[in-house]
């Protein structure tokens, strides 16, 4: 199973201003966010990353670039990782939005929440957002496995609500419970999609030890079937916990 390192973009100008940026152009990383991205790049140097995929928005690309440079790969842009289309909520203060009736739906019944239409900004439901980001990460994961083998490590850089939606899908909680997850700026989550189970290895880490996600030296080469001496077939959970 490849390992997906799911990254939220670093601290942005909209984060600092308390604004729901959505897909507004020109939202860049702050000095703090650039420092976070640079620090992640140093950590990613030991992770042997084979692919870096990013949302097309500036704050994600500015986060992805140091990671791709450390890995020696180019950034692949995928609209599936694009920020949620918040429609008429785009660019507004979060403190104002919290007073609107839709806010309670987003909090308590996100699977039924749809953002209001706007003449300029696209709008979608949280379910539509979740469906497209889950499809995108699973598609890239399958491609990485095909091209680089089950021990490969790859990166997806996206936005807070999209990261939470991927976590909710990976753990089986579903979109109805995605508000239980946290995705801080520049945080890293690690996920493996197996044939039988999906494994959440870590979540919302701000200083992750990424080298631990490299395949062990005695792991079977790509395409080989695990031997009978292995504790469990690839993709199965380790009964009793696993040996680390």
Could you please report the per-residue DSSP string of 60-108?
A: HHHHHHHHHHHHT-PEEE-GGGPPP-BGGGTT-BHHHHTTSHHHHHHHH
Confidence at residue 226, expressed as pLDDT on a 0 to 100 scale: 46
Q: What average pLDDT does the segment 90-106 reach?
A: 97
Q: What confidence category does residue 224 fall into, taking pLDDT thresholds of 50, 70 and 90?
A: very low
Confidence at residue 217, expressed as pLDDT on a 0 to 100 scale: 59
Q: What average pLDDT does the segment 182-194 reach?
A: 96
pLDDT digit string (tens) for 45-58? 878 899 999 999 99
- Given a cut of 70, whether residue 181 has pLDDT beyond it is yes
| CB proximity list for 224: less than 8 A, separation 6 or greater | none
Q: What average pLDDT does the segment 205-226 reach?
A: 66
Give the span between the Cα atoms of 27 and 146, in whole angstroms: 35
Q: Which domains does the chain show, CATH number per domain?
A: 3-213 (3.40.50.1240)
Confidence at residue 209, expressed as pLDDT on a 0 to 100 scale: 85
Give the span between the Cα atoms of 170 and 148, in whole angstroms: 22
Token representation of residue 167: 């976590």
- Given a cut of 80, whether residue 94 has pLDDT beyond it is yes
CB 19 within 8 A of CB 93: yes
Give the span between the Cα atoms of 71 and 65, in whole angstroms: 10
**pLDDT more than 90, % of the chain:** 81
DSSP track, 118-165 = -SSS-B-BHHHHHHHHHHHHHHHHHHHHHHH-TT-EEEEEE-HHHHHH
Q: Which of 72, 207, 50 is nearest to 143 (CA)?
A: 50
Q: What average pLDDT does the segment 59-77 reach?
A: 97
Confidence at residue 222, expressed as pLDDT on a 0 to 100 scale: 45
Report the run of H or E that residue 33 belongs to, with start and end: helix 31-44
Confidence at residue 229, expressed as pLDDT on a 0 to 100 scale: 45
- Given a cut of 90, whether residue 241 has pLDDT beyond it is no
Confidence at residue 46, expressed as pLDDT on a 0 to 100 scale: 78
Give the span between the Cα atoms of 14 and 75, in whole angstroms: 23
Confidence at residue 233, expressed as pLDDT on a 0 to 100 scale: 55
- Given a cut of 50, whether residue 200 has pLDDT beyond it is yes
Q: Which of 12, 61, 19, 66 is nearest to 39 (CA)?
A: 66
Confidence at residue 186, expressed as pLDDT on a 0 to 100 scale: 98
- Given a cut of 70, whether residue 61 has pLDDT beyond it is yes
Give the span between the Cα atoms of 182 and 180, in whole angstroms: 7
């Amino acid at each position: 199973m490849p390992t997906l390192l799911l990254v939220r973009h670093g601290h942005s100008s909209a984060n600092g201003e308390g604004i729901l940026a959505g897909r507004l152009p020109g939202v860049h990383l702050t000095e703090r966010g650039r420092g976070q991205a640079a620090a992640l790049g140093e950590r990613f140097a030991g992770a042997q990353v084979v692919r870096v995929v990013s949302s097309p928005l500036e704050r994600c690309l500015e986060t992805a670039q140091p990671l791709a440079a450390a890995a020696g790969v180019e950034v692949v842009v995928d609209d599936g990782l694009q920020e949620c289309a918040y429609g008429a909520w785009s660019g507004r203060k979060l403190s104002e939005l919290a007073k609107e009736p839709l806010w309670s739906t987003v909090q308590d019944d996100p699977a039924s929440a749809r953002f209001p239409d706007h003449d300029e900004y696209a709008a979608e439901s949280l379910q539509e957002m979740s469906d497209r980001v889950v499809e995108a990460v699973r598609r890239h994961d399958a491609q990485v496995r095909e091209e680089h083998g089950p021990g490969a490590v790859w990166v997806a850089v996206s936005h807070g609500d999209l990261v939470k939606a991927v976590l909710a899908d990976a753990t089986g909680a579903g979109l109805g419970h995605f508000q239980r997850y946290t995705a801080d700026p520049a945080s890293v989550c690690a996920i493996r999609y197996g044939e039988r189970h999906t494994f959440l290895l870590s979540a919302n880490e701000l200083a992750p030890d990424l080298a631990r996600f490299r395949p062990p030296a005695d792991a079977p080469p790509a395409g080989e079937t695990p031997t009978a001496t292995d504790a469990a077939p690839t993709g199965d959970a380790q009964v009793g916990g696993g040996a680390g």
